[in-house]
Structure 1
Amino acid sequence: MSEEYDALVRNGTWELMPSNPSQNVVGCKWIFRTKRNSDGSIDRFKARLVAKGFHQRPGIDYYDTFSPVVKPTTIRFVLSVAVSNGWILRQLDVNNAFLQGTLTENVYMTQPPGFIDQDSPSHVCKLKKAIYGLKQAPRAWYQELRSFLLQSGFTNSHADTSLFVLKFRGHLVYFLVYVDDLIITGDDEHLVNQYIHLLANRFSLKDLGKLSYFLGVEIVPNSQGFLLSQRRYLIDLLARTHMSEAKPVQTPLPSGTKISLHSGDKLSDPTEFQAVVGSLQYLILTRLDIAFAVNKLSQFMHTPTTEHWTLAKRLLRYLCGTPDHSLQLYCDSPLSFHAFSDALHAYSNADWAGDPDDFSSTSAYIVYLGRNPISWSSKKQKTIARSSTEAEYRSVANTAAKLNWVSSLLCDLGIQLPTCPIIYCDNVGATQVCSNPVFHSRMKHVAIDFHFIRDQVQKGILRVAHVSSTDQLADLLTKSLPRARFLFLRDKIGLSCRAPS
């Protein structure tokens, strides 16, 4: 507590001033937590002074609060490029990050408990810098860091505002920001170290060395590149739900399962179901094999039943048998700047009228950069499709929108593709509709925003190609599959089994 208080004082976080009845004084309290390493061992004990932001009044004590964080797709994208080109990956942690942001509003806070000024016990703290707990604290910190990086020569990506790119004398440096956790990589180690030193002179940094543990994801080097593993998170989840010794199963859901909203009896207390499914959503960061099952269970969060809870426990049993499965990023994937041919491609699929309640379809895609999966989605379509072709066409359109965003991210990173991206679809009709306007009569009821894909195909920006249903990898994310089919696709999509620690 003393160390934290001294850091606040050194930083000039506040100044004491007499209290006034017109002031809206925000309270504060001390928060204590234990920070752990990736193996579960204790890293350090931490005390943090937190303002009671719920006392703040909108439009008076704060205005804008939104602060962007780097997208998971961007992280996997940059890691894929780095591992394919053999770049160094460094991880940084900013000490007291939120205390660096400068406030533009007048915010008053009570003096910290246990550290009341004896000469002015009735004074309040007028905050000059942001503090944890304030509504605008994340935004103030992001703006402070962004301003410094832009002044240092970086440019802010338009595709992801938490990505910063430096192009200096033919060299590249990428900088990823997730609140106070930072990743920096580039093709010149000396240049990377130079900017780390520059950043350390402006902010109080902790250099964590090579990237090994980021946002609960462990980066495990191996002979093929490295694995992105959430094993520790999964083990903790299984222990918390008392499923560590459960009998494993080989698929997340029973084959051909049609999960209905009204099947089973309504749970008297849905809290545990909601907590488990919410935790599983975070696990999709590296486990795309459970994306369909988690998406399906998430549709019943508002009124879960006994059958939904049974299926959630079955999913935990599947994870109990596969704790070491992780996302493999290959170093021999053709992602170098001189071998980028046909690197960006995606698989798109849809399960027509698979929902037994409203007969809506499920769209799914997996986007690959070379051999590395960097983005995936399994999501219920918002409108009902009148045919399998329409369902597949909508899914291809959603995939095209994602590829457009990934392509703009490529441009921001200074990478240019020699060939246009490809979408593989196993529906012949949907593939033809993407390029053949003769089929318009069949699709005239489809919203116009889905037809943008035709313009892209005709202009050569995108290509939609047919793939056999056997090789359709996105099939894994659209429905519950038989065991043999599920295991076949799981082995192909890019998951590997790490050596148990």
Structure 2
Amino acid sequence: MQLPPGFKSKDRTKVCKLKKSLYGLRQAPRCWFSKLTTALIQFGFAQTYPDYSLFTYCKHNVRLHVLIYVDDLIIGGNDTTAIVKFKEYLHQCFRMKDLGPLKYFLWIEVARGLEGIFLSQRKYSLDIISECGFMGAKPTSVPIEQNHHLALAKSALMENPNRYRLLVGRLIYLTIIRPELCYCVHILAQFMQSPRQEHWDAALRVVHYMKGYLGQGLLYRSDSDLRLYAYCDSDWASCPLTR
């Protein structure tokens, strides 16, 4: 440890006593992000305003992207030489470790192959199933009943609604990689304020469905044309509840 600036003492027998660690200070994350942002801007990156944790670098034909989560960074781009040069710059500014190709980040697993890059949340799904105690349960083929009436449920309110909110909150994060769960999670999220027993049973049904389809994910194919295709199935307001 070093004495703080401005403190002078002739007695060399004294030592510094650490009362709070760096991560314990309230302003520490803000100061770290400010320092890291300054370093990235000096290199030529621009901060994207829709997502302040995403920085982009565009010069000539070189494109680099840096995604930040606290002190973890994902670096991607179309020029390997530029990425190596940027990593060397980071090592000069900070003491960082290069963990190699991306494999796991924020409960998202990344696998690479000849077909492309596959993203999944298998471990995250297993954690949800384990917390619900359904490791030995039988899976279901669909996550929600076709003709459900959850909006008209009149069963008793849950004594501990935080259990429902926690489970639905974790399912919402799961929809990043599992788009087939978007509809059922969207329905369940409407009852976060006053969940009833029928809503809890419907949420557990989604967990049963996950038990049988742990390997679902998103595949970004290597031969993709990088276009976004959207499909719409209009039911002409056939829902009797929302129209």
TM-score range, shorter chain: 0.7 to 0.9
Q: 2:126 aligns with which of 235, 248, 253?
A: 235
Q: Is the 8 A contact 1:131 1:137 kept in 2?
A: yes
Q: CA RMSD in A?
A: 2.8
Counterpart secondary structure, 1:195: helix
Per-residue CA distance 1:401-444 (angstroms, 9 max, x = gap): xxxxxxxxxxxxxxxxxxxxxxxxxxxxxxxxxxxxxxxxxxxx
Counterpart secondary structure, 1:132: helix
Q: 1:275 aligns with which of 166, 182, 198?
A: 166
Per-residue CA distance 1:349-407 (angstroms, 9 max, x = gap): 67748474xx3x6xxxxxxxxxxxxxxxxxxxxxxxxxxxxxxxxxxxxxxxxxxxxxx
What is the CA–CA distance in structure 1 between the aligned matches of 2:216 and 2:39, rounded to whole Å?
39
Percent of residue pairs bearing the same amino acid type: 33
Per-residue CA distance 1:14-66 (angstroms, 9 max, x = gap): 6798xxxxxxxxxxxxxxxxxxxxxxxxxxxxxxxxxxxxxxxxxxxxxxxxx
What is the CA–CA distance in structure 1 between the aligned matches of 2:90 and 2:18, rounded to whole Å?
33
What amino acid is aligned across from residue 281 of structure 1 in structure 2?
Answer: I
Deviation at 1:186, TM superposition (A): 1.8
Q: 1:226 aligns with which of 112, 117, 120?
A: 117
Using CA pairs below 8 Å that are at least 6 residues apart, which structure has the higher relative contact order? 2
Provide structure 2 residue ranges, at least 5 long, that are not aligned to the other structure. 8-12
What amino acid is aligned across from residue 203 of structure 1 in structure 2?
Answer: F
Q: Which residue of 2 aligns with 1:76?
A: none
Please state which structure has a larger fraction of its residues in strand.
Answer: 1
In structure 2, the CA distance between the partners of 1:243 and 1:190, relative to structure 1 (3 Å rule), is same
Q: 1:198 aligns with which of 89, 94, 97?
A: 89
In structure 2, the CA distance between the partners of 1:119 and 1:271, relative to structure 1 (3 Å rule), is same
What amino acid is aligned across from residue 137 of structure 1 in structure 2?
Answer: A
What is the CA–CA distance in structure 1 between the aligned matches of 2:5 and 2:101, rounded to whole Å?
39
Counterpart secondary structure, 2:67: strand
Counterpart secondary structure, 2:68: strand
Per-residue CA distance 1:200-233 (angstroms, 9 max, x = gap): 1111111110111111100011332021110011
What amino acid is aligned across from residue 159 of structure 2 in structure 1?
Answer: S
> What is the 5 A alignment of 1:1-20?
9=1
Counterpart secondary structure, 2:150: coil
TM-score by length of 2: 0.85
Per-residue CA distance 1:221-273 (angstroms, 9 max, x = gap): 13320211100111111111111111111111011212126432112222322
What amino acid is aligned across from residue 300 of structure 1 in structure 2?
Answer: F
Q: Which residue of 2 aligns with 1:157?
A: 48
Q: Which residue of 1 aligns with 2:10?
A: none
What is the CA–CA distance in structure 1 between the aligned matches of 2:180 and 2:218, rounded to whole Å?
10
What is the CA–CA distance in structure 1 between the aligned matches of 2:161 and 2:228, rounded to whole Å?
42
Q: Is the 8 A contact 2:121 2:174 kept in 1?
A: yes
Q: Which residue of 1 aligns with 2:145?
A: 254
What amino acid is aligned across from residue 52 of structure 2 in structure 1?
Answer: T
Q: Which residue of 2 aligns with 1:244?
A: 135
What is the CA–CA distance in structure 2 between the aligned matches of 1:185 and 1:233, rounded to whole Å?
24
Q: Which residue of 1 aligns with 2:230?
A: 346
What amino acid is aligned across from residue 346 of structure 1 in structure 2?
Answer: A
Provide structure 1 residue ranges, at least 5 long, that are not aligned to the other structure. 1-8, 18-117, 336-342, 362-501
TM-score by length of 1: 0.43
